Each structure stands twice: as C-alpha cells, then as structure tokens.
Amino acid sequence: FMTLLAGWSILLARLSGQSDIVIGTPVANRQRSEIEAMIGFFANTLALRVQLADDPSVAALLAQVKDSTLGAYAHQDVP
C-alpha cells in the first residue's frame, strides 16, 4: 500500500504541478474491542500528506510515506 501511495503521489504531483499532495484513504476505525462486534458504519477517512518539494530520492519518499501513514493509523480515532 505504501509503495502504491508513493507512486500515486508522484503521478498526482506531476499532473497537478503541486509539490504538496494530500490523499484520503478509508479505515475501518474499530480499534476498541467493545465496538468490534457492533453492526454499523464506523469508517473514517485519513488524510495522508506527501511532500515532494525537494525531489526526494525513492528511499526518502518511501520513508516519508511510511512515517505519514503509520502516524495517521496510530491516531485514527481522532477525526
């Protein structure tokens, strides 16, 4: 997922001419055990920011995407 997100960010940056890209991705948002068995729509959208301002290397871009994604998943309960 993170590799695809990095590639999609590069494509969007080139097509839009922008170096700061934000992509929304849905998550299930069922972190707490008491709501795991409940029926309902608990999805939340995470905004994942990718900055391509300084033309990062592939390794640097993947590290940035990894940090951004894992940070967003860690705090997915916060809207």
| Number of domains into which the chain is organized | 1
Give residue-wise pLDDT tens across range 21-74. Answer: 999 999 887 777 777 778 878 788 999 999 999 899 999 999 999 999 999 998
User: Six-digit token pair at 11?
Assistant: 């494509």
Q: Is 52 domain-assigned?
A: yes
Q: Does 29 or 11 have the greater pLDDT score?
A: 11
> Which residues span the domain enclosing 65?
2-24+42-74
User: What is the pLDDT, as a whole number, of residue 4?
Assistant: 97
Q: How far is CA 62 from CA 12, 13, 44, 66, in A?
A: 16, 15, 24, 6
- Which of the four pLDDT bands, split at 50, 70 and 90, describes residue 79? low
Q: Is 49 domain-assigned?
A: yes
